[in-house]
Amino acid sequence: MDLEEHTLETAGERCEECGAKLTEQELRAVLESGGPNLCTIHANEVVPVAEDADEAAGDVSY
């Protein structure tokens, strides 16, 4: 039996923090970012981790 590879291209309909139903725009943002299912209010509260901030700034030293 061959198994096909499937990708997850759907997001949950509700915010993981407060349970509010996500709007179409919020669902699109979740799919594009690959991040957690968060409403706009909780998505704005996300703070980048220091390593992520350094990588985004290009200041990573190996």
Q: Tell me: the pLDDT tens digits for 13-45?
A: 999 999 999 999 999 999 998 889 999 999 999
Domain limits, the chain: 11-54
How sure is the predictor about 48, in pLDDT bands with cuts at 50, 70 and 90? confident
pLDDT on residue 59:
58
DSSP 7: -
pLDDT on residue 16:
94
pTM score, two decimals? 0.59
Q: How far apart are CA 47 and CA 62, in angstroms?
A: 24
Q: Tell which wins on pLDDT, 36 or 5.
A: 36
Single-letter amino acid code for the residue at 23: T
